[in-house]
Amino acid sequence: MDKMFRKLCVKRGSRVSTINDWLQIQIGGTEDVKKKKPNNQNRIKSTKYTLLTFLPQNLLEQFRRIANFYFLVMTIISLLIDSPVSPMTSLLPLVFVIAVTAAKQGYEDILRYRTDNVVNRSPVTVIKNGVEAIIQSQNVAPGDLIVVERDCDVPCDLVILRSTDPHGKCFITTANLDGESNLKTLTVPRDLPTVPIEEMHKLGMIECETPGTDLYSFNGKIELAGGEGRVLPLSSENVLLRGSRVKNTECVIGCAIYTGMATKLQLNSRLTRNKTASSETYVNRFLIFILIALIAIVTLLYFLKRYNELFVIPKLTYLGPAADGYSVKQFLQDYLSFLILFNYLIPISLYVTIELQRVIGGFFMEWDNELYEKETDQQCIVNTSNLNEELGQINILFSDKTGTLTKNEMNFQQCSIAGHKYNYKKTRLEEAETKVLSDINKFSMDQKVFFQALAICHTVQVATSMTEVAPVENAANKQETIKSGPPEMYSISDITEESHNSSQHSELNVSNPIETSLSVHPNGVNATVTSSSDVNPLLFSDDSYKVERRKRPQVVKRSPNFARSNKVHIASPGETPDSGASANGHSSVGLHSPPIMRPISLQFQRSTSERDLPQFGEAHNGAALGHRRAHSYGAPNAYLTSPVGNQTPPVSGLFRAGSTVSRESYAAPTFTRQPTMLIRAESQRRKQEIQQTLCLLDYQASSPDEKALVEACANLGLVYTGDDDEVLRVRIVPPHLDYKRPINSGKPKEDAFHRLHVLEFTSDRKRMSVIVRDEGGKKWIYTKGAESYVFPLCANSSADMVVKTDSHISDFARLGLRTLAIARREISDAEYQEFVSSLAQANSSLENRKQLSEECYSKIESDLDLLGATAVEDALQDDVADTLVSLQAAGIKIWVLTGDKVETALNIALSCGHIPPDAKKYIILECKSRDDLLVHLNVLEREIVFGIGQECALLIDGKSLGVALAEAPKEFRDVAVKCTAVLCCRLSPLQKSEVVALIKSSNENYNTASIGDGANDVSMIQEAHVGIGIMGREGRQAARCADFAFAKFCMLKRLLLVHGHYHSVRLSFLVLYFFYKNILFMGIMFLFQFHTLFSSSSVYDSLFLTLYNVIYTSLPILFISLTEKPYTEEKLMQNPKLYKKNTDNKQLHWPYFLMWTLFAVYHSVIIFYFAYCIFSFNNVILNGGQTAAFSCFGTLLIWAVVIIVNLKLWLESMYLSFWYIATLVLSILAFMVTTVIYNVINLDYDTDIYWAYNNLLASLPVWLYVLLTVIACLLPDFTLRMLKRALNIKTFSIFPGKQRKLEMRRKFESTYL
């Protein structure tokens, strides 16, 4: 079905017309449009290049770098003039750098293209003229009728037209949109006529507004075709948004309205932009400094040369006549010759070395075992290695809440009943004071009433209801399934075999006897068994179960609202559709249904969550993977690797494809059987059966709190088994039986309550209520909600209990638990009738309907008897509190941006340590104007100023934040950044990215990072300087779009404090060293010009100029830039404050750069003049007694340079290893070997160094010179290093500088202002 789903999105025709800024979309499309079908209307795109634009766009980006552009100009100049050195010395390094960088960026863009294709080429089921077809997702077009099955993602924005739910409802989760994984309800438009499927494309036309970013609003209408011409209104309750996931509804059909980049999800996503590390700003500053110095040097040397030509050379007649210095040609020749001679001041190889260091450093992060999640077999993923060092520069971290800080798993922990506090122990309650354990058999009346209230006061739905797990009579003989419901409304295709917590299904082949059923191993392993007790006895009370329970398959019926085929025969893969008998001699099942049915062509395959894909391991066979939309990742046909035509799927059989891992489930995790001896074998068995029951029932709730409470009741023995026409059924099953007593003996007691009304929870009421009628005919109202709203509704008779319960709730809150108060009372028939009539009158009112309804609710929600309170824990991610505290200690301010409710977010922020417990909490809610907001901000700023040393936390909702972003962004930003923690609630995805953009616009130049796990976090992740994704339950779109991704939030601590610190130190070292060695290299060239009448001749051979940065000095710095560790990993993890030493790129500030430059100048002077003195006073230094030639002078200089720069690197390194020392030695040996080989070949190409280096190697004075030069150069470096360590001198504390003044001013303002 997924294939059909995706192909819809690429349908060929524009079926949309625009009138007065409203879109008109023909349902199913029109005939004339179907002939002309433009492709890719539903395609999403995150790539930067195409085949045509890659080369020009990539070259344009690369030549924006100063060094690349400079060397391009120098190469062109060297080709145009009489260059003093070979043009290849500039051209070859430039081509190498450009090619390596282009290959890296092209490869990363190919990876983005492939991940886009996972989505764009995934299969989608569409209905065309009443026939189902499978197309690619990118081919869906507006107007297409799309089929979405249960647990499948929605490929585009749809208007719901049909649902299998009898009441026309569709249940979804929107975790990828707003971060909430709670169940939400959508409906088919009211009064929409039910037409046959093959007639749906003639239903009419949809007219709606142009797409916008608001996820919670939609305006439109359906103009029905035919003589009636009725118009039905459409709202957001009728629209399925892309990124939603269908839950608890077998199948829905919708009409595509917004596709591709026009969907609300994509409009809330930022376009992919190029991210650059902040370190490149400093590199560019240094390059500009060097470039200015280069121009100054060249200009100085040119004028000195002109001086010599005018006043010195004429006196030296043997030099011949001087050149015409007034000629423009001669000016260009001289000036540009100097420019080419000194172009190695600009280190072009710096960029390619940085690229290699980043790529290999990214591999190191991916190979880190501490960032590897064993349970999911998931390693860290580095999508953008350009930002490795940026991990060590984070000032502000923006985090999602649901799925990032929390697991979104609620666990019932404690409760207060009738003034007594109890701890929850799975199947028992433990009284807090006496530690007495009691099970349901020993419950008091207060306890029974309390848990009965929890079992019925909710809106939880059962995904697999009790009536759907149908018994099969005489299964061994008849070999056929018996379904509940009218037989004429079902075909055998309606029956699917489903595990309660898994999507791992066997192929359903009815040609063989249906004897096997899926069971769940106590350890959570799915197993297919033939004759085991796989049907939970808690679900059945009939006596026939004793005989038949070993043979019954578990079957799940589909709703009759969505009919299938006329007559369906389920065949084996090798069986023809016409074969009438099964392999075992029994006739196959064929059940008749009405004429209008779902075509047999449809293959029913269940979807699974994306994590079911085993790391794409089995799919790397050259085929592009498909994105899970309407098919399972493990399904054989889940991936479309070639274009799919609008064909009809084969009719060879209907099979349910299975995945390899359990599908996403909201059921509680299964118990794990302990290997040790069980104290109570029967108790453990009953616990497992209860757990299996919970998994099979698969509770779906609008709130995770409700789900946790209902599951807790089931564990205690009150199993909510679902509702049948508003009749709630609660089965009472004692969890502990006598050991010798048969587990299935007796009939469990079952209570039934008829639900009359549900008074829904709203953010204003802070509570929900249900009105029920019990089996005795009495009517009760049960209320559950925040204690501050429930306590005032309680009767005076409950005053004492209110005081006790309030004390217990305070204790629960101190533990970070989420609390709810529970109350009830009996209502009379007269009071109920009055409520019904008042509510009907309120609902019929055209004005103030909401207010009148709430008045009715408040009237009946009064004089309640307080039963107690519950305490539920929202399970945090592993070590999340330690991670947040450590990051805050590292100087990182944390902002939590969530789409969740204010109360929920605040509770989580307190429990996870995001907001310190003693911090002042300032809350801004429901601000509607700029003036209101400024009043709040002024008060908050005064709190911060006068509360010196007091931590302050800000909480703001989406509406107030919208005002802040639109009308007072600067004022909000300046106050918010002063807070210790900021919590923003009820935000849309676009608002999240706007908050990040606002902080980035600050003059303080904050470095930001964003972390999230859902598609709703993508815009925030892409907007931040560093985007971090968590591969969570709700898909991996965030991980794909992020720069870095891993499995658990706690890994962020190591990623920032260890890898971020290391990469920042390493890159700073790399950059400074590159400038040092090039300044030293060219400094000797500069000094040489003063002794050659500024002739623009080179002291080095072209070989040395070419290989200096490529071979002689490249390997050691690359190696140490990958392995340097100023501190051990353990120390960095234990002392987060060390992270501050590198933030704001401190080691790339001017004092460090100038100090390295100073050493480079000093070393160049020592090397040059030591050699100059030797050659000046007595140049008879060769063993044969000959004088040394000029080629020996240049070779001796480069020899000393190579040795000095490598030993200087050794001296500055902190982490020494044998491999590192080997690279230093090999680099020096590489110079010696290449020079020996080069000087024995008689080449008269540049300078004649034939046999020059061999003579130097045989000379003792030369070796003494090298030794003396090394000592003279490195002695000051070594001395300063030892003094710093001995006297504990802080680096560059003697340089006040502008930066230090700014820091002192900032510290003063934060303390006294």
Residue 967 contacts residue 930 (beta carbons within 8 Å): yes
Please give the residue that has the higher pLDDT: either 966 or 736. 966
Residue 251 contacts residue 147 (beta carbons within 8 Å): yes
> 891: Cβ–Cβ under 8 A, 6 or more apart, which residues?
395, 1137, 1139, 1140, 1143
pLDDT above 60 for 168: yes
d(CA 788, CA 820): 9
Could you tell me the two tokens for 839? 């509510």
Q: Give the rounded distance of the alpha carbon of 1093 from its chain centre.
A: 63
Lowest mean pLDDT of 590-604, 813-827, 880-894, 1095-1109, name the range: 590-604
Element (H, E) at 942: helix 930-946
d(CA 389, CA 185): 45
d(CA 545, CA 561): 30
The average pLDDT across 1043-1051 equals 92
Q: What is the pTM of this model?
A: 0.67
pLDDT of res. 323:
73
Tens-digit pLDDT profile for residues 82-100: 878 778 877 877 888 888 8
Please give the residue that has the higher pLDDT: either 159 or 219. 159
Tens-digit pLDDT profile for residues 784-807: 998 888 999 999 888 899 999 999
Average pLDDT, rounded, for the chain: 77
The average pLDDT across 1070-1086 equals 95
b/e burial code for range 542-581 (CB count within 10 A of at least 16 → b): eeebeebbbbbbbbbbbbbbbbbbbebbbbbeebeeeeee
Closest C-alpha among 802, 807, 799 to residue 822: 802
Could you tell me the two tokens for 55? 């080369």
1177 by Cβ neighbours in 10 Å (0-12 / 13-18 / 19+) ranks as exposed
* DSSP letters spanning 853-895: HHHHHHHHS-SBEEEEEEEEEEEEPTTHHHHHHHHHHTT-EEE
Q: Which of 104-108, 643-647, 1121-1125 has the highest mean pLDDT?
A: 1121-1125
Lowest mean pLDDT of 555-569, 1178-1192, 1211-1225, name the range: 555-569
> 1303: Cβ–Cβ under 8 A, 6 or more apart, which residues?
none
Element (H, E) at 133: strand 131-136
Could you tell me the two tokens for 822? 């529970």
> 326: Cβ–Cβ under 8 A, 6 or more apart, which residues?
none
Tens-digit pLDDT profile for residues 279-316: 888 998 998 899 899 999 999 999 999 888 888 888 88
pLDDT of res. 157:
92
Tens-digit pLDDT profile for residues 1095-1130: 888 899 888 988 898 889 999 999 999 999 999 999
Pairing of strands 1026-1030, 1008-1012: parallel
pLDDT above 90 for 913: no
CA dihedral 216, 219, 224, 225 (to 10 degrees): -120
* DSSP letters spanning 1208-1221: HHHHH-SS--HHHH
Tens-digit pLDDT profile for residues 1252-1276: 898 899 888 899 999 999 999 999 9
Q: Which one-letter amino acid corresponds to residue 1146?
A: K
Please give the residue that has the higher pLDDT: either 694 or 343. 343
Whose structure tokens read 């093959």?
A: 198
Element (H, E) at 422: strand 420-425
CA dihedral 833, 837, 840, 845 (to 10 degrees): -160
User: Which residues are known to be catalytic?
Assistant: 400
pLDDT of res. 1063:
96
pLDDT of res. 464:
61
Reported in sequence order, the residue ranges of 760-864 that DSSP labels E, i.e. its strands, are 767-773, 779-785, 818-827
pLDDT above 70 for 48: yes
Percent share of the chain, pLDDT over 70 = 74
Could you tell me the two tokens for 425? 């122990």
pLDDT of res. 662:
31
pLDDT above 90 for 1234: yes
Termini Cα distance of the chain:
64
Helical packing angle, 1150-1177 and 1297-1312, nearest 10°: 160
d(CA 612, CA 664): 9
Could you tell me the two tokens for 586? 């029994």
Tens-digit pLDDT profile for residues 227-248: 667 888 888 888 999 888 898 8
pLDDT of res. 254:
94
Residue 739 contacts residue 679 (beta carbons within 8 Å): no
d(CA 545, CA 553): 12
Element (H, E) at 1229: helix 1218-1239
Could you tell me the two tokens for 854? 């709430």
Please give the residue that has the higher pLDDT: either 366 or 501. 366
Handedness of CA 1202, 1203, 1209, 1212 (dihedral sign): negative
d(CA 236, CA 502): 32
Could you tell me the two tokens for 24? 């008109």
Q: What angle do CA 1155, 1160, 1162 make, to 5 degrees?
A: 95
Confidence of residue 461 (pLDDT cuts 50, 70, 90): confident
Q: What angle do CA 813, 817, 818 make, to 5 degrees?
A: 95
Please give the residue that has the higher pLDDT: either 105 or 537. 105
pLDDT of res. 31:
60
Lowest mean pLDDT of 146-160, 567-581, 1050-1064, 1210-1224, name the range: 567-581
Element (H, E) at 749: strand 749-759
Q: What angle do CA 31, 37, 40 make, to 5 degrees?
A: 140
The average pLDDT across 983-995 equals 87
pLDDT of res. 1291:
52
Whose structure tokens read 């050794």?
A: 1210
Q: What SS3 class is residue 157?
A: strand
Lowest mean pLDDT of 27-41, 640-654, 1005-1019, name the range: 640-654
d(CA 108, CA 96): 19
User: CA gyration radius for the chain?
Assistant: 38
pLDDT of res. 640:
34
Lowest mean pLDDT of 397-401, 757-761, 1126-1130, name the range: 757-761
Whose structure tokens read 């009719």?
A: 651
Side by side, the strands of the sheet bearing 169-174 are: 180-187, 169-174, 245-247
Residue 243 contacts residue 174 (beta carbons within 8 Å): yes
* SS (HEC) of 19-77: ECCEEEEECCCCHHHHCCCCCCCCCCCCCCCCCCCHHHHHHHHHCCCHHHHHHHHHHHH
pLDDT above 70 for 270: no
